[in-house]
Amino acid sequence: MFWLDLVAVLAGAFLLFGLRGHFDVSVISFPHLTERFELLTILTFGEGVVGTAGYFDVSRLTVDAVLVMVLLLVMFGCYVLQLHVLCDHERVTRSLLLMFSHYFIVIAVNMVTVSLELLEHGGGLSRGGVVPCVGDWRAGGCVGCRGV
């Protein structure tokens, strides 16, 4: 059953690339769609900042906090540079590349945020992995991640 679900999701997502029939491109407003995906991505970067807030301490500035902030700022800067400077906002297209690239951008930013949170909490991977942590959560606590 898993394979059927996987094939259905992949076919629904990527089958559009192969269809080359008549498509009315006036239906899609590329600047509006770009703005919507920008908002989604900015929210994801905001969640990244909130998720890594544990690195920052008011009383002292650490190298870890500076590196985390520099990483997030460089990722956001590259995104803004590519979307605002290098992208033609007035083109008329089906926008499939824009949509799929933003899916992967959101997934990548979320994965960086989660990995930074794991490192912040003592590297739960060194104590047996994340899977035992999920199993222990049902018992009332997360032993592998210091009760997080």
Per-residue pLDDT at 95 exceeds 90: no
pLDDT tens digits, one per residue of 115-137: 988 888 765 544 444 444 444 44
CB 121 within 8 A of CB 145: yes
Query: Do 30 and 87 contact (CB within 8 A), yes or no?
Result: no
Q: For the chain, what are the domain ranges?
A: 28-137
Residue range 77-96: mean pLDDT, rounded: 83
Helix 96-120 to helix 30-51 angle, to the nearest 10 degrees?
0
User: Residue 57: pLDDT above 80?
Assistant: yes
